[in-house]
Amino acid sequence: MDFAISDELLGTIVPIVVYWIYSGIYVCLGSFENYRLHSKTDEDEKNLVSKQTVVKGVLLQQSVQAVVAILLFTLSGSDAGASAQQSSSFITLVRQFVTAMVVLDTWQYFLHRYMHENKFLYRHVHSLHHRLVVPYAFGALYNHPVEGLLGDTVGGALSFLLSGMSPRTSIFFFSFATIKTVDDHCGLMLPGNPFHIFFRNNSAYHDIHHQLYGTKYNFSQPFFVMWDRILGTYMPYSLEKKTEGGFEARPTKEFKDD
């Protein structure tokens, strides 16, 4: 009997598994206080939602994403045979990855920003994510189901379709995007972190957005900061070493909360 798992199914399951594995790794690394942006005490006291509720919310969103992903692969007519025939040259893969990254960033920037600017959507939808004043790794996908569907699921579908990648390639892309999203919310500034070397959009950049003074800035996620810079929503910051240990991301410009 053939128990082979299709690329489509792997493309749905693998990013979910990757999410929890990498979240677990970052939870363990969180014991290194000298690399934290916020103390464990702040994480427990400042956040407005329990970690149990966060886990349930993330599992709900991942279930919805899995169903939509399977439907997408089915409707797009992709199959293992098509995956094998598609060009897998390095240049082709790089082009598909970059295209998917730009599409996902563009979709999420404008949706994310609109979720903040529309008072109804912020109050009833996006504010759920901002109950995590001190972000942590496995809270990266803690969103209202509507936001999860529009932002991550629809954004992921667009990046998959417009980039022209195969289901097999999507396994690597969505796993990479998942790891990057977890890293952005991990609350750690680890030395030698390749994401911090190659991307300006990192855990400190996103931490600024989660603070009260930064909710009108740093909307970009998960890869680049281009839309924030182009449209004037970029908040520059400095990373300061705290005397009690750890780091603090501090804005380097004056601003007013309108």
CA separation (Å) from 55 to 58, 75, 117, 140?
A: 5, 30, 27, 10
Segments of the chain with pLDDT less than 70? 1-5, 76-88, 253-258
Its pTM stands at 0.89
Residue ranges in the chain assigned as alpha helix (H): 7-29, 40-46, 51-75, 80-85, 90-117, 119-124, 145-147, 155-163, 167-185, 194-198, 203-210, 226-231
Q: Which amino acid is at 49?
A: V
- The predicted structure's pLDDT at residue 24: 96
Please state the φ and ψ torsions of residue 239, each to the nearest 5 degrees: -105, 110
**What pLDDT score was predicted for residue 129?**
96
Residue extents of the structural domains in the chain: 7-75+88-255
Q: What is the predicted pLDDT for the residue at 254?
A: 66
Mean pLDDT of the chain: 89
Q: Give me the pLDDT at residue 77, please.
A: 60
Contacts of 165 (CB under 8 A, 6+ apart): 96, 97, 100, 173
Residue 76 is predicted with a pLDDT of 67
